[in-house]
Amino acid sequence: MRTTWAAIAFLYSAIVVVAVLLLAGVQVRAPVGSAYDIWSLNFDANQEREHQLSKIRIDTTDTLDKLDAAKLCLLLYNDDGASKASIDSQLLNAARAARAEQKEAGSFSGEMYCLVRGYLNLLSDKHYYEKISEKLTQDVTALEVELQANAAERTALLKDRPEYPAFKQMETKWYSKLTVIIPYDLMVILLVMFMGALGGMVRILRDYGDPTRRNPAAAEYIFIPLIGLVVAIGGYILAKTGLLLLSSAKQEASLSPFMIGLVGIISGLLAKDVIDALARTGKKIVQGESGEEGSDGSPPARPNQSNLTNMAAGRDEPDRAKTRIDDHGVE
């Protein structure tokens, strides 16, 4: 039994901590909203081209160095492939012994490398690196042209957005990275869900401290926050469509993170009322779309925004859905 209560205490503590962190994260991201997510994708695509160009330039430099080394080694040989007479005989004998022992040329340096590598291999290296160098040069030219064409796009990405590069810099910090890389809309949904679970916890504490109510069973300490978590999603959808607390909000920027959190807490605390509002609204929408034709043969009028708001508020509703929830669950 102690293990069960310890697990519940740990779960509740984790829910509170995550809910607070999500609220702080949404508060930080609220000024830029989901527009930053699209900007970040475009900015990363532009940055990726610059990284590719830098990498290709490094590869080109390395290839040219190897090509120059092959050309210098070929100077030790005549056109027929024989080594030049000016080469020290002891060095030639050492190179022949190394080839006889099948040693790798890479383990040597200088003239010894050239002699162990051999004329035919060096000639093959020269042709290979020339082709690679030509291909890399073409890639560099193409990327430079593409970057020049995208220079205006990069300028537009940074213009009038002084706070966006600061958010981009936050991706380099471990403690702020998740706040920036998680899409804003997903973060808002997670905030609503955890606030809904927090509302279920508040409901448990309210019932626990009320002498007129029975103490919750052990399973309800898990079940009720879970109900709040699920119902909060529906409550937030109502809020976003203007059917509940945020019916006057016209733009995403006007949605306060604290108002969003309040929607989640209320949905978890008053799960029955939110489910009733969802059921009533859904019933009216379905009836409005599938109702009979009017007396003049015209289709029934679709409910307007004010009518939908009245539905959510429970006004002019003679037939309400019969969804019921007892004090600690659904029946």
Share of the chain above pLDDT 70, in %: 80
What is the predicted pLDDT for the residue at 293? 47
Tell me: do 204 and 313 sit in the same domain.
yes
Contact 319, 283 (CB under 8 A): yes
Contact 15, 197 (CB under 8 A): yes
| Residue 276: HSE in the Cβ half-sphere, 13 Å Cα cutoff | 14
In a domain, 42, yes or no: yes
Longest dimension (CA), the chain: 114
Burial of 8 (0-12, 13-18, 19+ CB in 10 A): middle
Lowest-pLDDT range of 42-56, 168-182, 286-300: 286-300
Above 90 in pLDDT, residue 3?
no
CA distance 154 to 42: 9
Query: In what helix (H) or strand (E) does residue 325 lie, and over which residues does it extend?
Result: strand 325-326
Above 70 in pLDDT, residue 272?
yes
Number of neighbouring beta carbons within 10 Å of residue 117: 21
What is the predicted pLDDT for the residue at 22? 94
The domain containing residue 44 runs over which residues?
37-168
Q: What percent of the residues of the chain are helix, what percent strand, and what percent coil, each to the nearest 5?
A: 70, 0, 25
Above 80 in pLDDT, residue 56?
yes
In a domain, 272, yes or no: yes
Q: Which residue has the tokens 């080839």?
A: 99
Number of neighbouring beta carbons within 10 Å of residue 98: 18
In a domain, 175, yes or no: no
pLDDT digits (tens, 9 = 90+) for 7-20: 888 999 999 999 99
Contact 309, 243 (CB under 8 A): yes
Tell me: do 211 and 268 sit in the same domain.
yes
Q: How confident is the model at residue 230 (pLDDT cuts 50, 70, 90)?
A: very high
Mean pLDDT: which of 1-5, 82-86, 116-120 is highest?
116-120
In a domain, 178, yes or no: no
What is the predicted pLDDT for the residue at 186? 93
Tell me: do 227 and 136 sit in the same domain.
no
Rounded alpha-carbon distances, angstroms, from residue 284 to 173, 281, 306, 317: 49, 5, 13, 9
Lowest-pLDDT range of 100-114, 140-154, 236-250, 277-291: 236-250
Tell me: do 17 and 100 sit in the same domain.
no
Q: Quick one: average pLDDT of 18-39?
A: 90
The count of domains in the chain is 2
In a domain, 135, yes or no: yes
What is the predicted pLDDT for the residue at 329? 43
Q: Rg of the chain over CA atoms, in angstroms?
A: 36
| Sequence-ordered list of residues with C-beta below 8 angstroms from that of 202, at least 6 positions apart, any chain | 265, 268, 269
Share of the chain above pLDDT 90, in %: 21
CA distance 243 to 97: 89
In a domain, 174, yes or no: no
Tell me: do 62 and 99 sit in the same domain.
yes
Query: In what helix (H) or strand (E) does residue 330 lie, and over which residues does it extend?
Result: strand 329-330
Tell me: do 221 and 150 sit in the same domain.
no
Tell me: do 323 and 192 sit in the same domain.
yes
Number of neighbouring beta carbons within 10 Å of residue 270: 18
What is the predicted pLDDT for the residue at 18? 95
Mean pLDDT: which of 143-157, 200-214, 309-323 is highest?
200-214
In a domain, 173, yes or no: no
Q: Quick one: average pLDDT of 181-189?
A: 93
Tell me: do 122 and 146 sit in the same domain.
yes
In a domain, 314, yes or no: yes
